[in-house]
C-alpha cells in the first residue's frame, strides 16, 4: 500500500533541508523582496500573472485559489485568470508573455532555467526587473511547495483520502 500511495501523489513537495535553506534565503533577501514589490514597472497584475504561471506548473491548490482571487482584484478578467491557471497566455499583454514563458520554464526546471532563456529575458527586461521577477518566482515557488507538502502530509495520514485533488480550485468573479 505504501508504494501505491507515494506513486499516486504527483505534485512537487519539499523536504526539511530545502525548506530551511529557502526560508533562510528569502529572509536574507527581504530588502530585495520589498524593492520588487514596490517596483513601478512591476505592476500588481504582472506579479499575479507570474505567480499564476508558476502555480500552474506546480499545481498548488491553495496558491491557485489565493492568487486567482488576488488577480481578479488587480483587474484581470475571470477568463484570463482561468487561462493563466491552464498555462495559456493569449489574453495577457504581449510585452509580458516572454516573462510568463520564462516563469513557466523557471518552475519546470526547479529554479534552474537555461542560460539561453535567462539571457533572452535579461535582454528584454534588464537586470533590475529580471532580478525582481526571479525573487517573485522564488517566493511563489516556495509557497507552492509548502502547500503541496501540506497536501502530501494530509494524503499520507489519511491513507490517500485527503490532499490529492486532481485540479486546483480557482477563484471566479462570482466569489465577489
**10-residue mean pLDDT series, the chain (176 residues):** 54 86 90 86 93 97 97 97 97 97 97 97 96 95 94 92 71 52
Q: Where are the domains of the chain?
A: 15-159
pLDDT at 3: 35
Give the Cα separation of 153 and 109 in Å (integer): 24
For residue 166, the model assigns a pLDDT of 61
> What sign results for the dihedral spanned by CA atoms 58, 48, 75, 62?
positive
**Running DSSP on this structure, what letter comes out for residue 124?**
H
Q: Tell which residue, 149, 121, 152, has the closest CA to residue 134.
A: 121
User: What pTM value is reported for the model?
Assistant: 0.86
> Which residues have CB under 8 Å from 95's CB, separation 6+?
none
Whether the Cβ atoms of residue 131 and residue 139 lie closer than 8 Å to each other? no
Give the pLDDT confidence score for residue 14 in this predicted structure.
84
For 15-159, CATH number out of 3.30.70.2190, 1.20.1290.10, 3.30.530.20, 1.10.260.40 equals 1.20.1290.10
First to last CA, the chain: 42
What does residue 171 show for φ and ψ, rounded to 5 degrees?
A: -80, 140
Are 44 and 37 spatial neighbours (Cβ–Cβ below 8 Å)? Answer: no
Amino acid at each position: 500500500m505504501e508504494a501505491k500511495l507515494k506513486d499516486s501523489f504527483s505534485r512537487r513537495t519539499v523536504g526539511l533541508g530545502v525548506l530551511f535553506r529557502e526560508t533562510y534565503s528569502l529572509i536574507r533577501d527581504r530588502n530585495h523582496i520589498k524593492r520588487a514589490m514596490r517596483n513601478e514597472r512591476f505592476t500588481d497584475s504582472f506579479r499575479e500573472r507570474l505567480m499564476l504561471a508558476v502555480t500552474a506548473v506546480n499545481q498548488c491548490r491553495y496558491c491557485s485559489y489565493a492568487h486567482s482571487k488576488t488577480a481578479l482584484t488587480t483587474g484581470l478578467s475571470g477568463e484570463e485568470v482561468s487561462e493563466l491557471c491552464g498555462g495559456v497566455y493569449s489574453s495577457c499583454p504581449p510585452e509580458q508573455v516572454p516573462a510568463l514563458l520564462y516563469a513557466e520554464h523557471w518552475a519546470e526546471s526547479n529554479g534552474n532555467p537555461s542560460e539561453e532563456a535567462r539571457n533572452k529575458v535579461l535582454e528584454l527586461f534588464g537586470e533590475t526587473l529580471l532580478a525582481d521577477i526571479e525573487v517573485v518566482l522564488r517566493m511563489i515557488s516556495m509557497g507552492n511547495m509548502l502547500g503541496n507538502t501540506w497536501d502530501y502530509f494530509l494524503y499520507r495520514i489519511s491513507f490517500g483520502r485527503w490532499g490529492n485533488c486532481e485540479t486546483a480550485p480557482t477563484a471566479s468573479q462570482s466569489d465577489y
